[in-house]
Structure 1
Protein backbone atom coordinates (compact mmCIF):
# COMPACT_ATOMS: atom_id res chain seq x y z
CA UNK A 1 0.00 0.00 0.00
CA UNK A 2 1.59 3.27 -1.11
CA UNK A 3 -1.26 5.49 0.06
CA UNK A 4 -3.81 5.25 2.79
CA UNK A 5 -7.31 4.78 1.39
CA UNK A 6 -10.82 5.00 2.81
CA UNK A 7 -11.19 1.25 3.31
CA UNK A 8 -7.96 1.05 5.33
CA UNK A 9 -8.93 4.14 7.34
CA UNK A 10 -12.32 2.65 8.17
CA UNK A 11 -10.65 -0.61 9.21
CA UNK A 12 -8.33 1.35 11.52
CA UNK A 13 -11.28 3.11 13.15
CA UNK A 14 -13.27 -0.12 13.54
CA UNK A 15 -10.28 -2.01 14.94
CA UNK A 16 -9.43 0.76 17.38
CA UNK A 17 -13.00 0.98 18.66
CA UNK A 18 -13.31 -2.80 18.94
CA UNK A 19 -10.13 -2.87 21.02
CA UNK A 20 -11.42 0.01 23.15
CA UNK A 21 -14.58 -1.90 23.99
CA UNK A 22 -12.55 -5.04 24.80
CA UNK A 23 -10.47 -2.92 27.20
CA UNK A 24 -13.57 -1.24 28.65
CA UNK A 25 -12.03 2.10 27.73
CA UNK A 26 -13.85 5.38 28.16
CA UNK A 27 -15.71 6.58 25.04
CA UNK A 28 -13.24 7.52 22.30
CA UNK A 29 -12.92 9.69 19.25
CA UNK A 30 -10.76 8.28 16.45
CA UNK A 31 -9.55 10.07 13.33
CA UNK A 32 -7.39 8.87 10.46
CA UNK A 33 -5.53 11.40 8.29
CA UNK A 34 -3.88 10.75 4.94
CA UNK A 35 -0.33 11.90 4.17
CA UNK A 36 -1.60 15.38 3.29
CA UNK A 37 -3.40 15.76 6.61
CA UNK A 38 -6.87 15.30 5.14
CA UNK A 39 -9.38 13.35 7.24
CA UNK A 40 -10.25 9.96 5.73
CA UNK A 41 -12.36 8.53 8.53
CA UNK A 42 -13.63 9.67 11.90
CA UNK A 43 -15.85 8.27 14.61
CA UNK A 44 -16.93 9.51 18.02
CA UNK A 45 -18.43 6.98 20.36
CA UNK A 46 -21.58 7.78 22.26
CA UNK A 47 -20.59 9.57 25.44
CA UNK A 48 -17.29 10.97 24.17
CA UNK A 49 -17.04 14.63 25.07
CA UNK A 50 -17.16 17.39 22.47
CA UNK A 51 -13.44 18.25 22.49
CA UNK A 52 -12.39 14.68 21.75
CA UNK A 53 -12.51 15.27 17.98
CA UNK A 54 -10.21 18.29 18.27
CA UNK A 55 -7.78 16.48 20.56
CA UNK A 56 -7.71 13.34 18.40
CA UNK A 57 -7.06 15.45 15.30
CA UNK A 58 -4.30 17.40 17.08
CA UNK A 59 -2.66 14.09 18.03
CA UNK A 60 -2.87 12.74 14.48
CA UNK A 61 -1.72 16.03 12.93
CA UNK A 62 1.18 16.31 15.36
CA UNK A 63 2.35 12.78 14.61
CA UNK A 64 2.01 13.37 10.87
CA UNK A 65 3.59 16.81 10.90
CA UNK A 66 6.55 15.80 13.05
CA UNK A 67 6.93 12.29 11.60
CA UNK A 68 6.77 10.40 14.87
CA UNK A 69 4.25 9.06 17.37
CA UNK A 70 3.05 11.59 19.92
CA UNK A 71 4.50 9.53 22.77
CA UNK A 72 7.95 10.21 21.28
CA UNK A 73 7.08 13.86 20.71
CA UNK A 74 5.99 14.22 24.34
CA UNK A 75 9.32 12.80 25.51
CA UNK A 76 11.22 15.12 23.18
CA UNK A 77 9.13 18.08 24.37
CA UNK A 78 10.14 17.42 27.96
CA UNK A 79 13.79 17.67 26.96
CA UNK A 80 13.34 20.76 24.76
CA UNK A 81 10.25 22.68 25.91
CA UNK A 82 11.13 25.98 24.22
CA UNK A 83 11.33 24.37 20.79
CA UNK A 84 8.09 22.45 21.16
CA UNK A 85 6.30 25.51 22.51
CA UNK A 86 7.45 27.26 19.33
CA UNK A 87 6.11 24.37 17.26
CA UNK A 88 2.72 24.66 18.98
CA UNK A 89 2.64 28.39 18.25
CA UNK A 90 3.70 27.85 14.62
CA UNK A 91 0.82 25.42 14.02
CA UNK A 92 -1.74 27.55 15.89
CA UNK A 93 -1.98 25.00 18.70
CA UNK A 94 -3.03 22.16 16.37
CA UNK A 95 -0.69 19.65 18.02
CA UNK A 96 -1.05 17.53 21.15
CA UNK A 97 1.90 16.11 23.06
CA UNK A 98 0.17 13.11 24.58
CA UNK A 99 0.23 9.44 23.53
CA UNK A 100 -2.52 8.46 21.12
CA UNK A 101 -1.19 9.94 17.88
CA UNK A 102 0.46 7.23 15.78
CA UNK A 103 2.06 7.49 12.35
CA UNK A 104 1.05 5.08 9.60
CA UNK A 105 3.82 3.84 7.33
CA UNK A 106 3.79 1.64 4.25
CA UNK A 107 5.92 -1.49 3.82
CA UNK A 108 8.89 0.64 2.66
CA UNK A 109 8.66 2.86 5.75
CA UNK A 110 7.15 5.85 3.96
CA UNK A 111 4.79 8.01 5.99
CA UNK A 112 1.30 7.58 4.52
CA UNK A 113 -0.90 8.98 7.30
CA UNK A 114 -1.63 9.05 10.99
CA UNK A 115 -4.29 8.03 13.46
CA UNK A 116 -5.27 10.07 16.50
CA UNK A 117 -7.35 8.88 19.43
CA UNK A 118 -8.65 10.72 22.47
CA UNK A 119 -10.97 9.77 25.30
CA UNK A 120 -9.11 7.62 27.79
CA UNK A 121 -5.58 7.87 29.14
CA UNK A 122 -2.88 8.49 26.58
CA UNK A 123 -1.61 4.95 27.11
CA UNK A 124 -5.00 3.42 26.35
CA UNK A 125 -5.57 5.76 23.41
CA UNK A 126 -2.22 4.67 21.96
CA UNK A 127 -2.88 0.95 22.45
CA UNK A 128 -6.22 1.32 20.67
CA UNK A 129 -4.48 3.13 17.79
CA UNK A 130 -1.96 0.30 17.46
CA UNK A 131 -4.82 -2.22 17.52
CA UNK A 132 -6.53 -0.31 14.72
CA UNK A 133 -3.38 -0.51 12.62
CA UNK A 134 -3.08 -4.23 13.27
CA UNK A 135 -6.75 -4.73 12.33
CA UNK A 136 -6.12 -2.92 9.03
CA UNK A 137 -3.03 -5.04 8.33
CA UNK A 138 -0.72 -2.04 8.64
CA UNK A 139 1.26 -3.13 11.67
CA UNK A 140 2.43 -6.52 12.86
CA UNK A 141 3.48 -5.86 16.45
CA UNK A 142 1.61 -7.52 19.28
CA UNK A 143 -0.83 -5.33 21.17
CA UNK A 144 -0.84 -5.68 24.94
Structure 2
Protein backbone atom coordinates (compact mmCIF):
# COMPACT_ATOMS: atom_id res chain seq x y z
CA UNK A 1 0.00 0.00 0.00
CA UNK A 2 1.23 3.46 -0.91
CA UNK A 3 2.39 5.73 1.88
CA UNK A 4 0.48 8.60 0.30
CA UNK A 5 -2.82 7.31 -0.99
CA UNK A 6 -4.91 8.94 -3.70
CA UNK A 7 -7.61 9.54 -1.08
CA UNK A 8 -5.14 11.38 1.19
CA UNK A 9 -3.76 13.40 -1.73
CA UNK A 10 -7.28 14.41 -2.75
CA UNK A 11 -8.01 15.42 0.86
CA UNK A 12 -4.93 17.65 0.78
CA UNK A 13 -6.08 19.32 -2.45
CA UNK A 14 -9.65 19.83 -1.23
CA UNK A 15 -8.62 21.18 2.18
CA UNK A 16 -6.01 23.52 0.68
CA UNK A 17 -8.56 24.94 -1.76
CA UNK A 18 -11.17 25.27 1.01
CA UNK A 19 -8.62 27.12 3.14
CA UNK A 20 -7.86 29.44 0.24
CA UNK A 21 -11.54 30.26 -0.18
CA UNK A 22 -11.93 30.79 3.56
CA UNK A 23 -9.02 33.23 3.60
CA UNK A 24 -10.21 35.04 0.48
CA UNK A 25 -7.09 34.15 -1.49
CA UNK A 26 -6.73 34.53 -5.23
CA UNK A 27 -7.49 31.35 -7.25
CA UNK A 28 -5.00 28.59 -6.45
CA UNK A 29 -3.31 25.72 -8.23
CA UNK A 30 -2.50 22.79 -5.90
CA UNK A 31 -0.32 19.83 -6.88
CA UNK A 32 0.54 16.85 -4.69
CA UNK A 33 3.53 14.63 -5.51
CA UNK A 34 4.47 11.38 -3.81
CA UNK A 35 7.97 10.83 -2.42
CA UNK A 36 9.33 9.66 -5.77
CA UNK A 37 8.09 12.84 -7.48
CA UNK A 38 5.10 11.35 -9.29
CA UNK A 39 1.96 13.47 -9.54
CA UNK A 40 -0.65 12.08 -7.16
CA UNK A 41 -3.42 14.73 -7.28
CA UNK A 42 -4.06 18.23 -8.57
CA UNK A 43 -6.69 20.93 -8.45
CA UNK A 44 -6.64 24.23 -10.29
CA UNK A 45 -9.34 26.76 -9.52
CA UNK A 46 -11.17 28.73 -12.16
CA UNK A 47 -9.48 32.06 -12.77
CA UNK A 48 -5.89 31.10 -12.06
CA UNK A 49 -3.39 32.86 -14.24
CA UNK A 50 -1.44 31.04 -16.92
CA UNK A 51 1.29 28.67 -15.67
CA UNK A 52 0.16 28.57 -12.03
CA UNK A 53 0.06 24.77 -12.10
CA UNK A 54 3.61 24.62 -13.44
CA UNK A 55 4.80 27.04 -10.75
CA UNK A 56 3.06 24.99 -8.05
CA UNK A 57 4.66 21.84 -9.42
CA UNK A 58 8.10 23.45 -9.45
CA UNK A 59 7.72 24.48 -5.81
CA UNK A 60 6.90 20.87 -4.83
CA UNK A 61 9.55 19.39 -7.13
CA UNK A 62 12.24 21.67 -5.73
CA UNK A 63 11.29 20.71 -2.18
CA UNK A 64 11.58 17.02 -3.06
CA UNK A 65 14.80 17.52 -5.03
CA UNK A 66 16.58 19.21 -2.14
CA UNK A 67 14.71 17.57 0.74
CA UNK A 68 13.79 21.02 2.05
CA UNK A 69 10.56 22.94 2.19
CA UNK A 70 10.71 25.79 -0.30
CA UNK A 71 10.84 28.42 2.47
CA UNK A 72 14.29 27.03 3.33
CA UNK A 73 15.19 27.00 -0.36
CA UNK A 74 14.22 30.69 -0.59
CA UNK A 75 16.54 31.45 2.34
CA UNK A 76 19.29 29.46 0.70
CA UNK A 77 18.74 31.40 -2.54
CA UNK A 78 19.42 34.60 -0.61
CA UNK A 79 22.55 33.17 1.00
CA UNK A 80 23.84 31.07 -1.92
CA UNK A 81 22.26 32.40 -5.10
CA UNK A 82 24.71 30.61 -7.39
CA UNK A 83 23.97 27.24 -5.80
CA UNK A 84 20.20 27.57 -6.17
CA UNK A 85 20.58 28.86 -9.73
CA UNK A 86 22.70 25.82 -10.57
CA UNK A 87 20.28 23.39 -8.92
CA UNK A 88 17.44 24.95 -10.91
CA UNK A 89 19.13 23.64 -14.05
CA UNK A 90 19.40 20.07 -12.75
CA UNK A 91 16.02 19.84 -11.01
CA UNK A 92 14.54 18.26 -14.12
CA UNK A 93 11.71 19.34 -16.38
CA UNK A 94 9.41 20.05 -13.42
CA UNK A 95 11.81 22.80 -12.33
CA UNK A 96 12.40 24.54 -9.04
CA UNK A 97 10.88 27.81 -7.78
CA UNK A 98 12.71 29.03 -4.65
CA UNK A 99 9.86 30.74 -2.78
CA UNK A 100 7.47 29.52 -0.05
CA UNK A 101 4.59 27.32 -1.17
CA UNK A 102 6.40 24.00 -1.60
CA UNK A 103 5.80 21.99 1.57
CA UNK A 104 7.07 18.51 2.36
CA UNK A 105 4.57 15.92 3.63
CA UNK A 106 5.84 13.85 6.54
CA UNK A 107 4.53 11.18 8.87
CA UNK A 108 6.61 10.52 11.97
CA UNK A 109 9.55 12.26 10.30
CA UNK A 110 9.36 10.08 7.18
CA UNK A 111 9.04 11.83 3.81
CA UNK A 112 5.81 10.93 1.97
CA UNK A 113 5.75 13.61 -0.73
CA UNK A 114 5.26 17.33 -1.27
CA UNK A 115 2.56 19.86 -2.00
CA UNK A 116 3.09 22.88 -4.21
CA UNK A 117 0.66 25.77 -4.36
CA UNK A 118 0.70 28.92 -6.46
CA UNK A 119 -1.82 31.69 -6.97
CA UNK A 120 -1.59 34.15 -4.10
CA UNK A 121 1.39 35.47 -2.15
CA UNK A 122 3.97 32.83 -1.38
CA UNK A 123 3.22 33.01 2.35
CA UNK A 124 -0.50 32.48 1.69
CA UNK A 125 0.24 29.62 -0.72
CA UNK A 126 2.28 27.98 2.03
CA UNK A 127 -0.48 28.47 4.63
CA UNK A 128 -2.99 26.71 2.36
CA UNK A 129 -0.53 23.85 1.77
CA UNK A 130 0.07 23.40 5.49
CA UNK A 131 -3.69 23.37 6.15
CA UNK A 132 -4.22 20.73 3.46
CA UNK A 133 -1.45 18.49 4.76
CA UNK A 134 -2.67 18.74 8.35
CA UNK A 135 -6.29 18.04 7.28
CA UNK A 136 -5.07 14.72 5.85
CA UNK A 137 -3.45 13.81 9.17
CA UNK A 138 0.18 14.40 8.17
CA UNK A 139 2.89 16.77 9.34
CA UNK A 140 3.80 19.75 7.16
CA UNK A 141 7.45 20.72 6.70
CA UNK A 142 7.63 24.13 4.97
CA UNK A 143 11.31 24.52 5.71
CA UNK A 144 10.91 27.12 8.44
Q: TM-score, normalised by structure 1?
A: 0.92
Count matched residues: 140
1:104 matched residue in structure 2? 105
Q: Deviations over 1:46-85 (max 9, x none)?
A: 0011200100000000011111110111001110111111
Residue 140 of structure 1, CA deviation: 8.0
Partner residue in 1 for 2:76: 76
Matched, 1:5 2:5: yes
| Paired residues for 1:1-144 under 5 Å | 3-92=3-92, 94-107=95-108, 109-139=109-139
Conservation of the 8 A alpha-carbon contact between 1:2 and 1:106: no
Distance 1:119 1:68 in 2: 21
- SS at 1:46 equivalent: coil
Cα RMSD for the two superposed structures: 1.7
CA distance in structure 2 between the aligned counterparts of 1:101 and 1:64, rounded to whole angstroms: 9
Residue deviations 1:85-138, cap 9 Å, x none? 11011225700001000001122x111100000000000000000000111111
Contact 2:61 2:91 in 1 (8 A): no
- Runs in 1 of length 4+ with deviation above 6 angstroms? none
Q: 1:92 to 1:64 in 2, by over 3 A?
A: closer
Q: Could you say what secondary structure the match of 1:40 adopts?
A: strand
Distance 1:104 1:59 in 2: 13
Any unmatched runs of 5+ in structure 1? none
- CA apart distance, 1:5: 1.1
